[in-house]
Amino acid sequence: MSFAKNSKIEIIENEIEDADCAQAFLSGLLHACGSINKNKDGIRVDIVTDFKEVFPFLNKIVLKLYGENLSLEISDDYIINKTTYYRIKFPVSISIQILKDCGLISQVGNFDFIEGVDENIIPDDETKKHFIKGSYVGCATSSIKLSELGSQKPTTGYHLEFSSHQKEFLKSISNILVYFNIPSRIVIRKKIYVLYLKDSESIKDLLALIGANQSVLELSDEMAKRDLRNTVNRQVNCINANINKTVEASLKQIHAINYINKKIGLESLPEDLQEVAVLRLANPQESMDELLKLSTIKLTKSGLNHRFRRILKIADFLRDR
């Protein structure tokens, strides 16, 4: 199950007691994934979603506010990109009233639709939070994938987004998030507007705002795992880089020593250079620190490096002759 779906399930685990908050949640959900259908019976409001788990939760809200039950069926366009979509149907008898109460229409007779969010629906902090909850359940997705500690599989970044054909709706979400000090951005992607958060801390703040506390803990745990994995990878890369440097330096020194031996013999070198040349040939894979430990010569690392540089210069001189 995806991270986003888990967080949505967490949101609907607790029933909304306050009627205004329930109305705000319903408004956010209708803005996010609602549709209006007209037939011989009249106007009907539907919710089209791949998150069928919201049905019993939503049915309780509508039953509490309007005294009617909803119905659930597989949508006519029930499979898109291998995802099954469901249609939650509102009774015709209450659909127009719901549209008005949720701030989607301003005049029942003329059906003047409100593009943004009616401020009367979200007058205080709690109703704002519940509007975001409904919007999140309706149209939020995330690319976050939780990993196992020690897993070597590459992980995606931190990305959560709301998508909609209505830019004003996403602007309203953005304004509410700014009110709660949560930054976001809106872009257009393939003719659909997208409000997104890419910063892990902002995503945690959003999840905390809508009451998905377990998801906040899971995301924090995932961040710690990734930080640990990145630290280990950096350390391993650093170790590997040092090993490669040691191997390259050793090979270069050995080639120079062998060339000198072939051209003029090691015995022609000054005694101090003969000592380190023999030491290197006897220990071709050791680092400079290890050579110092194995050597009976009282030298510092800087002194040992200096002697090897002299050997390399002698080899270069012999090659140029």
Backbone angles phi, psi at 109, to 5 degrees: -65, -45
Residues of the domain holding 242: 238-320
Structure confidence at residue 109 (pLDDT): 54
Arithmetic mean of pLDDT, 290-310 = 85
| Pick from 19-33, 51-65, 225-239: least confident | 225-239
Other CB atoms within 10 A of residue 85 CB: 17
| Pick from 15-24, 152-161, 285-294: least confident | 152-161
First to last CA, the chain: 72
pLDDT in tens, 253-298: 889 888 888 888 888 888 888 888 888 888 888 888 888 888 877 7
Indicate whether 177 pLDDT > 90. yes
Structure confidence at residue 155 (pLDDT): 61
Structure confidence at residue 30 (pLDDT): 94
Q: What pTM, to 2 d.p., does this model score? A: 0.73
**Is residue 174 a part of any domain in this protein?**
yes
**Is residue 227 a part of any domain in this protein?**
no
**Is residue 284 a part of any domain in this protein?**
yes
Structure confidence at residue 152 (pLDDT): 54
CA 188 to chain centre: 20
Question: Residue 106's domain is classified under what CATH number?
Answer: 3.10.28.10
Indicate whether 9 pLDDT > 90. yes
**Is residue 251 a part of any domain in this protein?**
yes
Residue 98 to residue 242: CA distance in whole angstroms: 68
Q: Are residues 33 and 143 in the same domain?
A: yes
Which tokens belong to 95?
A: 């659909």
Which tokens belong to 92?
A: 């015709």
**Is residue 224 a part of any domain in this protein?**
no
Residues whose CB falls within 8 Å of the CB of residue 109, separated by 6 or more in sequence, listed in order: none
Q: What is the CA radius of gyration of the chain?
A: 34
Indicate whether 234 pLDDT > 60. yes
**Is residue 225 a part of any domain in this protein?**
no
**Is residue 221 a part of any domain in this protein?**
no
Structure confidence at residue 111 (pLDDT): 64
Number of domains in the chain: 2
**Is residue 217 a part of any domain in this protein?**
no
Structure confidence at residue 265 (pLDDT): 86
Indicate whether 136 pLDDT > 60. yes
Backbone angles phi, psi at 252, to 5 degrees: -65, -40
pLDDT in tens, 99-135: 999 988 876 555 667 778 888 899 999 999 999 999 9
Which tokens belong to 19?
A: 């009627």
Q: Are residues 204 and 271 in the same domain?
A: no
